[in-house]
A and B are shown apart, each in its own frame.
Chain A
Amino acid sequence: MQEIETVARQEQILHGATVDVTRSIDARGMPCPGPLMSLIGAIRESQVGDLIEVLSSDEGSRSDIPAWVQKARHELIEVVPEDGYARFVIRKAR
């Protein structure tokens, strides 16, 4: 699956996001645990304080992403259900 990176401003307009994100990952269509793995990869490449957005249509992500974010001690800023997928925004906390 392809990851689509866009600048924060475009994302905000496209998805009606309520926060300015540093990086966006479109993991829709990826099976479990693909979206989580994409998020982990993005977190590793990011700076502390960056906001990462993940779009995922995988049902497992709805529990897995919050569970991992808590375990890895980052911060789940928001989870927004959209039509056929969910949008997660995570702040890299350390």
Chain B
Amino acid sequence: MSADERFSLVLFSGTDDKLQAAATLAVGAAVMGRPVEIFLQYWALDAFRADRIEADHGVAPEAGDEGRMSMRAQGKPPWIELVRQAKDLGDVHVHACADSMEMFGIDQDDLDPVVDGVWGVASFFAEADGPVTFI
């Protein structure tokens, strides 16, 4: 695999632990010079709504109380900060799934400005020409 191969990331889950893990991967790929394409569906898209992006989105059930406390104790910057840093440092784009947008009855004005636009799934695959990571 070429070091410059695109990192295509579909975000489905909207809990802070999964978004944190995804944002860490995205920033790592970006600083290593790989173009990154992020596609937001379902609960991940909901987490990128402008009015709730800074809110507590909880953690996945497998985290339990101990996992939740470990995450808090690590004191990482919020995942959205990592996404912003990734966009600042590299060739990183974020698009919202049109179908999920319709499900929530929202338009792009409802989303955080970090989201570049709204795409159908075919547009995503026009860009995501390699393996796709789904979180």
Query: Could you say which of A31, A33, A64, A71 contacts B75, with CB atoms under 8 Å apart?
Result: A31
Q: Which of these binds chain A: B28-36, B43-51, B93-101? A: B28-36
- B24 x A33 contact (CB < 8 A): yes
Residues of A within 8 A of B61 (CB): none
Which residues of chain A from 28 to 48 have a CB within 8 Å of any chain B CB?
31-34, 36-37, 40
- A71 x B3 contact (CB < 8 A): yes
How many chain B residues touch A (CB < 8 A): the figure is 14
- B74 x A36 contact (CB < 8 A): no
Query: Could you say which of A1, A34, A40 contacts B31, with CB atoms under 8 Å apart?
Result: A40
CA distance A67 to B3 in the complex (A): 12
- B75 x A68 contact (CB < 8 A): no
Least CB distance, B35 to chain A, in whole angstroms: 14
CA distance A49 to B38 in the complex (A): 35
- A34 x B76 contact (CB < 8 A): yes
- A34 x B32 contact (CB < 8 A): no
B interface: dominant SS: helix
Residues of A within 8 A of B33 (CB): 71-72
CA distance A75 to B7 in the complex (A): 26
Q: What size tier do the contact residues of chain A reach?
A: 10 to 19
CA distance A77 to B82 in the complex (A): 28
Residues of B within 8 A of A68 (CB): 31-32
- A40 x B89 contact (CB < 8 A): yes
Say if the beta carbon of B77 comes within 8 Å of chain A.
yes
Query: Could you say which of B32, B74, B89 contacts A67, with CB atoms under 8 Å apart?
Result: B32
Say if the beta carbon of B15 comes within 8 Å of chain A.
no
- A32 x B24 contact (CB < 8 A): yes
Which residues of chain A from 1 to 42 have a CB within 8 Å of any chain B CB?
1, 31-34, 36-37, 40
Residues of A within 8 A of B28 (CB): 33, 64
- B76 x A36 contact (CB < 8 A): no
